[in-house]
A and B are shown apart, each in its own frame.
Chain A
Amino acid sequence: MSLSRSPSPRREGGWSSPGLTTPYDDSNGRSRSPRKAYGGLESPGGGGGGGVTWASAKANSARVNGYPSYQSQNKGFFSRHMRKLSESLPYFAHGGQEDRFAEKEKLGRGRRGGLGGSWKDVPARIALLLSRRRKYLALVVLAFLAVLLWFSKPITYWYRRSSMFGGGSKFVIILGANQGGGVMEWKGAREWAIERDSVKNKKKYAAEWGYELEIVDMSTKKRYAHEWRESWEKVDVIRNSMRKYPDAEWFWWLDLNTFVMEPSYSLQKHIFNDLGATTYRDINVYNPLNVHHPPNGTSGDPDSPEYQNYLDPLTSSPVGDNLPESINLIVPQDCGGFNLGSFFVRRSAWSDRLLDVWWDPVFYEQRHMEWEHKEQDALEYIYTNQPWIRPHTAFIPQRSINAFPQGACGDDKGLPKGGCASLKATDDPQECGIQGVHYQESERDFLVNMAGCEWGRDCWGEMYNFRQLSNRLNRSLWEKFKDGISEWWEGKEEGKNKKKSG
């Protein structure tokens, strides 16, 4: 449409510019603006008689209203540019000729629709929305949506992985398979089954959130020149993983006998987004090992000068600097001390040092008979005796990343009525809070660790039960519905049988 000058309202109303009053203004005779062409539909009452064209109707209404509905001001970006945008879209081959027919048909329909309430013209509105050129756009949008839907899984995966959005690739799960295997003992069918289940569970979880999964073979091998280091491989394995995933930040060690009960929890949301609140720094808060903090003398002589007297305030502070950024190691504590069945290490210069001093031949030589739990006891030792470790270590309530099954750590003390949320400060915390150790179904604990099941307990049985429980807890709505019906039916049948027998 080319106007030689700006349209101006005439004194008696209406428009002086002829170009605006007819939809067929183009040299091709093609309607430039179908929305206007169907304008009559939008106000079915204004149309009047059958042969009335849009142009005359518009002129009429303009006269009645006294001012033009067409505004020459620039109303905004879209009003200014929409025409240009839509113009750049290609036209369909059969130009205005068919438009005209279509318009007439639709005008007729519009009149019929005009009799009823406003909802009756909904199909007409849809048709309007889907006018030919918009149809094209709609098709594109639809195709785009279809592609999104079709690739929704890879797209969410990519999104969750990317370091910019989800950040999943910043986490590496290290799963120690084959622990103590190899030359020490043979694997039976149950051991294989446990391994298969556990690995499958971690694979699923890692894929769900876009984490890296590193499954490592922990079987005892003659790997070192100094053979005494055997079964201390956790440290080396973490170091190797750090080398293998140079962009990852957090490394999560998991023993094989663990099971992710709630795969819908992401590590970020569960722990890392609010690291200051999900962890605690002060070991005096929960201290099953009775580690003295601030550190005291090592001579055992109560009259000796304080060990503390030479340490800087940051090191002797019970919480370090208390900034979540300074946390480099996250360890859960069970009823007996640190538990390394599930713990986090962050890549940093500090962790390099920790992983470096964790194993030392002089320590080993003096203590390997006492340190039954190898790395775990060694970590407890260096935490107690080397003050530089403390300001960068945080503890996490056992139940949030490493819940034990009933009986693994004394008796399950149960939950207060109404769950942990209803707990008051004066109440006995039972399994709630920092001292809670055992898995609580109603609190939907994240991960269960069947620690120590290889000594006199049934690992496979426990794993099986927890797997079933996890599946049941995480059923979809539809599955719940189906199961509900079948349970109801079974209940009814049982009732009948009881009546019969009774």
Chain B
Amino acid sequence: MRKVFPLDWALSVQWRIWRAKTFLRRGALKLQYVLTVYTLLIINKAGGLVYNRDFSPSPNASVEKISTNDYLVLAGTFHGVHAITKSLTPRIPTKNPTSSSRPSSNPNALNIAPSLDNTQPSSQIQTTTPNPNLPVTGLETLETSFFRLTCFQTHTGTKFLLITDPLMPNVDAVMKGVYERYADHVMKNPFYQLEMPIRVEGWDRAVGQWLGGR
């Protein structure tokens, strides 16, 4: 028993060291992964792509690099989908004296609402959005198994899309930084033509510094 133990012990120590090493190696990789911004896209108010830049390789290693042409198509699609998601907002009927007699638990209440509209003035059925305190927006974040897409729409209709790791925290702050740099380097540039692709060196540098280290 005394003879067997050291060998057994040595093996187990070696195995443990190997396990710790691989764990550390993979852990270090993971740490780099977690705080990754993959791609930044900027879509103008007409749905055209004005800026795209990849910061790290795609979340899935099997995907070949997406061409600018594909990003253009993607931006147009996203612009349309964004508008549709806004119009899909569920409407919740509010209690008002004229329609309170209608049982609210009736599953067909909304289904019959359009037909009621034809016979009665439409102002009688009042509806509200689920979060009345917030403005109705389109898609804000999209989650998939490999990445998360965060969309920020400015007041003028420009959309900033950040494709990040699904576990990345504080995307809002990152987005705010990007918007600030956009305002400083692109909007304040007297030579930049509105709604046109962004070719500004200072912006490239600034946004690269801001997102590259993440």
* B is bound to A: no
Chain B interfacial positions (CB closer than 8 Å to A): none
Chain A interfacial positions (CB closer than 8 Å to B): none
